[in-house]
Amino acid sequence: MIRRLKRRLGIRFSTKALKRNPGVYLRQLLRRHRSFPDLVTELAATQPVAIVQVGANDGSSNDPLGEMILHRPERVSRALLIEPQQSAFERLAARYAEAPHVTCLNAAIDREPGERAIYSTDMAAASERLGRKISDGLASFSRAHLENAFRNACPAIADAELDQLITETPVPVTTIRQAMATAGMRDADVLLVDTEGFDAEIMAMALEAGLRPSLLQFEHAHLDAATRRALAGRLRREGYRLWASHLDMWGQRVGTGTSPR
């Protein structure tokens, strides 16, 4: 309710964002605020963009680019949407079944290809235990991440109950470059990452693979303070102007706004 009221009043100040990354947040208060969707829309108006999304879920739940990818294909040259959870991936693939410019990949991203366990939520059991509908948006390589999420939602939850709520599933793993090759992509204009605490690792892999997208966004809410600062510093050195909310950080590479390449 407070968040909706602030939006209606045009108030953008966030104490959580300030606390999580004061360096980025204080800088952005001194210049024009630019949202990630607005930056993508502006870039896509000058040229069709290639998008890579790691942790796409079903393409509609809290997805800042889902509507543009689906309904404005003239603005998207290629889109690679990567999601390891089978249930979410099936909805993702169905959503884009008639979109030839979109490749949906059922895999996770890591430094080496193979297989790795991912921890997710038993939606029926979790919904019953917490008394509200739980989606499959919560999945991570870290079981501790899910345990902490459940304990924050229900401090009295017992360890034995967590075993009933958290599932472990092996999923295929590929590298970001191999995933892009699957979609016939050599580069990306936009990189979007939402991987429940693995975001800094994915961003590091992308940079190590030579990707320097014009625009990027990742979830920083689950990163520790040192990791947030280190990643923000690295991105600034790579030429990115950064913005942050309490959940996400996003950046525009200087000189890659609306100017033709």
Together in a domain, 66 and 156: no
Together in a domain, 143 and 157: yes
Cβ-proximal residues to 243 (8 Å cutoff; 6+ apart), any chain:
24, 28, 33, 34, 35, 36, 249, 250, 251
Please report whether residue 36 resides in a domain. yes
Together in a domain, 88 and 39: yes
Together in a domain, 161 and 194: no
Please report whether residue 5 resides in a domain. no
Tell me how far apart the alpha carbons of residues 188 and 6 are, in angstroms, rounded to a whole number.
34
Please report whether residue 2 resides in a domain. no
Task: Name which residue leads in pLDDT, 136 or 59.
Answer: 59
Together in a domain, 163 and 199: no
Place of tokens 């959870």: 85
Cβ-proximal residues to 148 (8 Å cutoff; 6+ apart), any chain:
none
Kindly report the pTM of this predicted structure: 0.84
Together in a domain, 151 and 224: no
Q: Which helix (H) or strand (E) holds 242?
A: strand 240-244
**What confidence tier does 14 reach under pLDDT thresholds 50, 70, 90?**
low
Tell me how far apart the alpha carbons of residues 96 and 59 are, in angstroms, rounded to a whole number.
9
When divided into structural domains, the chain yields a total of 2
Together in a domain, 139 and 212: no
Please report whether residue 258 resides in a domain. no
**What confidence tier does 185 reach under pLDDT thresholds 50, 70, 90?**
very high
Judge whether 114 and 97 are in contact, CB under 8 Å.
Answer: no
**What confidence tier does 174 reach under pLDDT thresholds 50, 70, 90?**
very high
What pLDDT does 10 receive? 47
Full domain range(s) for residue 148: 116-171
**Chosen domain end from 171, 195, 217:** 171
Which strand ranges, in their side-by-side order, compose the sheet holding 215-219?
102-105, 76-82, 49-54, 190-193, 215-219, 248-253, 240-244
In the chain, the amino acid numbered 48 is P
How many Cβ atoms sit within 10 Å of the Cβ of residue 3? Answer: 10
Together in a domain, 150 and 192: no
Please report whether residue 217 resides in a domain. yes
Cα-based torsion angle of the residue sequence 243, 109, 143, 65 in order, rounded to the nearest 10 degrees: 40
Strands 215-219 and 248-253, sheet pairing: antiparallel
Together in a domain, 24 and 149: no
Together in a domain, 154 and 239: no
pLDDT in tens, 83-142: 999 999 999 999 999 999 999 999 999 999 999 999 988 877 777 777 777 767 678 899
Together in a domain, 90 and 209: yes
Together in a domain, 21 and 129: no
Judge whether 103 and 183 are in contact, CB under 8 Å.
Answer: yes
**Chosen domain end from 127, 148, 171:** 171
